[in-house]
Amino acid sequence: MKILRTPDARFADLADYPFAPHYTVIKTADGSDLRIHHLDEGPRDGPVVLCMHGQPVWSYLYRKMIPYLVAAGLRVIAPDLPGYGKSDKPAEREDYSYQHQVDWMGQWLTANNFKGVTFFGQDWGGLIGLRLVANYPERFDRVVIANTGLPYNPEVADEIVKEVMAFRANAPTPSLLEMQKALSQMQGETAKKFAYWQKFCWETVDMPIGFMMSLTMEQHSIPGKIITFLAHQLGLDRLTQSTLAKAYDAPFPNPSYKMGPRAMPSHVPTLPTDPSLDEQRKAWAFFETFEKPFLCTFADNDPVTHGLDAQFLDKVPGTRGLPHATIKGGGHFLQERRPAEVSQAIIDLIRST
């Protein structure tokens, strides 16, 4: 397996990220060494909170939550998924299957022997982390999720499957604006609308990750948005790039490092033809009998995952009787916009259970 490693210099002097790196080397299926990075903050004997990020971000996403959690006496573990952050980056598209990420992070979890864990996951962090909970239930005491899901869609109509497959194969690459419009209209047409994000990511060889995260996470005036967008269109991002945008671009020195963010959306199992279907079925069967505390803290304004918490509240016994929170104005990446509220929900759950 060809594996890339981002030079340490790319992470020098990041704002609000003073955390020491920790590394674990695991083995891929072909015997290659794969180095996974994680943060380890707070008291060594404190209750462990495992915070997993999604796509296309990295553990930098948790820099605002870590101080709240540590101040409450918790030990915070925040890994970078392979392909992201300071972790190694396999170079080929086929390396980034859903199952590979679950297998790699499972090795990382057991190598570090984390136990008594409260899991927190958002976006792909939830997709992968919930599978870890199902695979290693003895290591987890509680679950908290936000803006994520455990997609399992065995009954999508054949005509929709054909339409989505044809779109992925033959439609022009969506523009950034077309993709954003489709995601804002996700409800009711999940597979069809999400295909815009899948196609945009895969066919945009040099995904503008920092630029997109700035638009998503930071407050911009209308003139500011126009200036930022025009600078991007003219290839002048560096002249207007914010500190946050630079941090989310840091793991990717050139487009060859971006295979993870590009490839992983296509592995979200939105169709019954996707290879993860049977493992998702098994995971849902597990959670339908899961009685440990399971808390939902979804934002009220995330178009991608809005309403997915209802599946967990309906099916997972561990959700009953808990104070599930709706985080107002959190957006998709609520760790950036509402770190105090999300952290407090985790702290309160641990203290009360």
Give me the catalytic one of 80, 249, 302, 309. Answer: 302
- Of the residues 80, 123, 237, 274, which is catalytic? 123
Please state, as a whole number, how many other Cβ atoms lie within 10 Å of the Cβ of residue 57.
Answer: 28
Q: Is the dihedral of CA 156, 157, 158, 164 positive or negative?
A: negative
Task: Note whether 334 and 146 are within 8 A (CB).
Answer: yes
The answer to whether 332 is a known catalytic residue is yes
- Cross-strand bridge partners of residue 294: 143
Q: What is the DSSP letter of 10?
A: G
Is 141 noted as a catalytic residue in this protein?
no
Count of Cβ atoms closer than 10 Å to residue 328 Cβ: 12
Q: Which residue has the tokens 């101080």?
A: 67
Phi-psi region at 191: left, alpha or beta (left = phi > 0; alpha = psi -120 to 50):
alpha
Edge-to-edge order in the sheet of strand 325-327: 22-27, 33-41, 75-79, 48-52, 117-122, 140-146, 294-299, 325-327
Q: Exactly one of 38, 53, 100, 332 is catalytic; which is it?
A: 332
**Positions marked active-site:** 123, 302, 332
